[in-house]
Structure 1
Amino acid sequence: MPELRQSRVTKDWVIIATERAKRPDEFRLERQKKELPEHDMKCPFCPGNEHMTPAETLAFRSGLSTPNGPGWRLRVVPNKFSALVPTGSFQRHPVDGFYRRMDGIGIHEIIIESPQHNVSPATMPETQVEEIFLAYRERYNAIWKDGRFSMVIIFRNHGPSAGTSMEHPHSQLIATPIVPTHIRHLLEEAMRYFDDHGSCVFCDTVSVEKKVRKRIILEAENFLVYAPYASQSPFETIVMPKKHYACFGSISEQEARELANVVRVVLQQIHEKLNDPDYNLVIHTAPFKDANEDFYHWHVQILPRLATTAGFELGSGIHITTALPEESAKFLRIEKQ
């Protein structure tokens, strides 16, 4: 019989369509992916084309290479086609006596993850993925110190179905002066749980998942990786820090390195067992003003794009999934690192 499951974190319901359920290996994509060159002369993110991007805000370089030239291992640059711009007015204005608007102020950066055009975190060496997460941490904290913005979202779109428009490995960071309604909802639900139970819903989730163990994919020293009980799509994966931090920027350098390795091995499993599906990776973190709260807990969400959102999902907000989270976790499970 189908199941309705509710998330303790979001209070959202999902339908586990067991009558339509597939075996985990049936989600493996049968396709031949395009072979990419190691270097593309037309790609603005490839070495030698640094003049095609805005000036870098951060770079990890080898030897005596100069800024905005070749010799880098990772670069962070403003998005040339930015959704938001860093200067303007923070004043909100009424429109038509009813609506509100303000200047589109924010920071939109590209993290160019590698000089190689044809790799991804699933195929990169460990040290390279570590530098990606160290760059996330450094830029996140620099924007926090800037003081003008409310929050930062760090995300990675892998493949066309996930919204990427560039083949070269990269992720993005956007800082906004407002806290989106979706984030407010998550914070309010977490606060409500804390008021009712006197504990963090994310910390309690870690305790429950460690106890039952059937949805765990990987347990590392400081992180637990699991398939959510109320997964919204096949193979949705959460990487949750065991230590309570509301804000991603609070993690240490060593924790950032461990996180990088954990994410890398999970992405390797997804890459190998599902034939490199498109996916979105998002770092969920509290707004800066809530950085020290006890009720929220930053985490990483990985969402493979193996299902299509249709009319029912759009109309109801209820996702239908044809994969049991327990079976998905078993399929991806990795021995302790």
Structure 2
Amino acid sequence: MQKATSRLSGLPQKLQMFKRVAEMSDGRYLIYYSWRNHSQDEIISESLLEPPRLTAFKQKLRALNPEVDATLLEKAYETAETAHRGKLRDQGTPYFEHPLSVVNLLLDELNIHDIEFLSAALLHDVLEDSATTYEQLTELFGGRIARLVQGVTKTDEDTEQYIAKIEQSGEEAVLLKLADRLDNLRSLPLSPNRSKQTRYLSETSQFYLPLARRINAYIYEQMAQLIDQQLQGLTPALRWHPILEEWVIVSPHRQQRTYMPKPEECPLCPGVLEIPEDYEIVAFENRFPSLLRHAPEPVAPLWNSEFLVAAARGICEVVVYTPQHRGSLAEQKVQDIYNLIRVWKNRYEELGAREFIDYVFIFENKGEVIGVTLHHPHGQIYAFPYIPPKIEKELDSSRKYAEKNGRCLFCDILVAEQADGRRIITANDSFVAFIPFFARYPYEIHIYPRAHLRSIAEFSDTIQQDLAAILKIVLLKYDNLFDFSFPYMMIMHQEPTTGDVYDYYHFHIEFYPPHRTKDKIKFLAGCESGIGSFINDAAVEETARELREKPPRE
């Protein structure tokens, strides 16, 4: 049997991990992870809700004009932040996120770099929502900014009168209001107030859409698309399957996600769309999530009490392994894989600590045949508000086994597999990789820790290093099996984060590769999909021998 060691690509070192949190224009967070050779042993992080947004604005402006004077913008930022401090939107997020998002929209999407106009965007709600007066704004920022802010400030007018007032204030005021409205429309699905959503959509269609059609084609197209989506109920929701007794996530807006872009348009490459800076490893909230941090309550059907719905509250993250567009996890150095494992551990602990998260699911889909829509090497994390069905089943079977036998089911499977030996692929001091006796896919590898560990949170540095080493071996063996980059689903199974202790459960990783031969795919057809009974088309003792004998060469 081949033993996996870190020597394959160099011994991974425990470097100090730095974590910097930033915020995107639409309110999603983005976390940069980096490593430095430092004597301290700690994670350094910044607050999620206090990102360096002003710095980002100035950097964007100075990229276009190195001589730009951002003093006015700095003063507007400070004034607006003070005016909105401590105030929340109805979806529970800090109110100040909204004017910041409007400025980002103007900068990034409309290419507006006028400092006074951007300052007015930061201040646009100050007269309406604070004790600041028009005279004070004029004294601090001058007549143009004060007039723009007053022009979009709603007092006691009805909507028709308000629109007329904005138009009388000039085209600049109209554009500012349309940008404000577009940003509010984007965050509308997060509002828990269903009647507000309906009213806002109707009002936007009647008054703001015609205005946008005349003033700005881009805003018009964005508004029209958002109204269409939201009227069709494209916000994620949970629907209860009464026959299988499990939740189904309905997320129609994911139909809009990016599909196989050109390399130069890849949203995961630095500076293209999602990640503005260069990076080592990044985790960020998915632009097209199945679960939402601030999920609205869906409307339950009134005509059948069996059809239950619930808010799709959770968090969906994308974890980008490398800034390099081409490649795969198999091509990363052991050091890079070890760094990634530390990121997984951090995300598991941080997401799992949230009160509304019951299960943190870490996984990777690799290959077009799996359904991947972006080639850039990345994985995902779904933080669920419930324990998913398969994990519930594993918890139930391992609990019953422990009650009957006084031992861990997974530990006993590992003992049995090692005693047999024919299905073992590789092993090291901390882990064993094997195709289980009961495998459902011909090349389905499971990786078990030798120690009884419930989750990645219990992994020591040595165990994390050994996991990096064995993952490298397994991934290279996969790629060398048929001499091409091997597609798979990599699934991490671990303890739920409900606050309970699941002593009978055991961390493990499962790989589901779709290939049954070099040129044949195992599809989940009628038997597997229709009645849940798997048929494996291969003798796993033979497929395990093939993989065991393949050298893990790079």
TM-score band (shorter)?
Answer: 0.7 to 0.9
Q: Is the 8 A contact 2:292 2:312 kept in 1?
A: yes
Q: CA deviation at 1:110?
A: 0.4
Q: Match of 1:331, as an amino acid?
A: E
What is the aligned partner in structure 1 of residue 271 from structure 2?
48
Q: Is the 8 A contact 2:480 2:551 kept in 1?
A: no
Matched, 1:234 2:442: yes
Alignment identity in percent? Answer: 26
Secondary structure, aligned partner of 1:141: helix
Secondary structure, aligned partner of 2:280: strand
Q: CA deviation at 1:190?
A: 0.9
Q: Where does the alignment leave 5 or more consecutive residues of structure 2 unmatched?
A: 1-259, 516-521
Partner Cα separation in structure 1 for residue 465 and residue 342 of structure 2: 7
Matched, 1:313 2:528: yes
Q: CA deviation at 1:132?
A: 1.5
Q: Is the 8 A contact 1:106 1:175 kept in 2?
A: yes
What is the aligned partner in structure 2 of residue 77 from structure 1?
284
Partner Cα separation in structure 1 for residue 297 and residue 342 of structure 2: 30
Partner Cα separation in structure 2 for residue 93 and residue 254 of structure 1: 50
What is the aligned partner in structure 2 of residue 147 from structure 1?
355
Partner Cα separation in structure 1 for residue 471 and residue 352 of structure 2: 24
Q: 1:335 to 1:309 in 2, by over 3 A?
A: closer
Q: CA deviation at 1:84?
A: 1.0
Q: CA deviation at 1:150?
A: 0.3
Partner Cα separation in structure 2 for residue 311 and residue 77 of structure 1: 37
TM-score, normalised with respect to structure 1: 0.79
Q: CA deviation at 1:94?
A: 7.9
Matched, 1:333 2:542: no
Larger fraction in helix:
2
Q: Which of structure 1's runs of 4+ aligned residues deviate more than 6 A?
A: 89-94, 334-337
* Aligned alpha-carbon RMSD (Å): 2.4
What is the aligned partner in structure 1 of residue 365 from structure 2?
157
What is the aligned partner in structure 1 of residue 510 from structure 2?
301
Q: CA deviation at 1:118?
A: 0.8
Aligned with residue 538 of structure 2, among 323, 331, 334 = 323
Q: 1:290 to 1:216 in 2, by over 3 A?
A: farther
What is the aligned partner in structure 2 of residue 283 from structure 1?
492
Q: Is the 8 A contact 2:359 2:388 kept in 1?
A: no
Aligned with residue 470 of structure 2, among 262, 279, 285 = 262
**TM-superposition CA deviations, 1:185-231 (whole Å, max 9, x none):** 11111111111111111000111111111111011100011001011
> What is the number of residues matched between the two proteins?
284
**TM-superposition CA deviations, 1:134-177 (whole Å, max 9, x none):** 11111111112223210011110001121211000000000011
Secondary structure, aligned partner of 2:448: strand
TM-score, normalised with respect to structure 2: 0.49
Q: Match of 1:288, as an amino acid?
A: T
What is the aligned partner in structure 2 of residue 252 from structure 1?
460
Larger fraction in strand:
1
Q: Is the 8 A contact 2:357 2:498 kept in 1?
A: no
Aligned with residue 169 of structure 1, among 366, 371, 377 = 377
Q: Is the 8 A contact 1:218 1:336 kept in 2?
A: no
Q: CA deviation at 1:90?
A: 8.2
Q: Where does the alignment leave 5 or more consecutive residues of structure 1 unmatched?
A: 1-35, 56-67
Partner Cα separation in structure 2 for residue 199 and residue 268 of structure 1: 34
What is the aligned partner in structure 1 of residue 401 from structure 2?
193
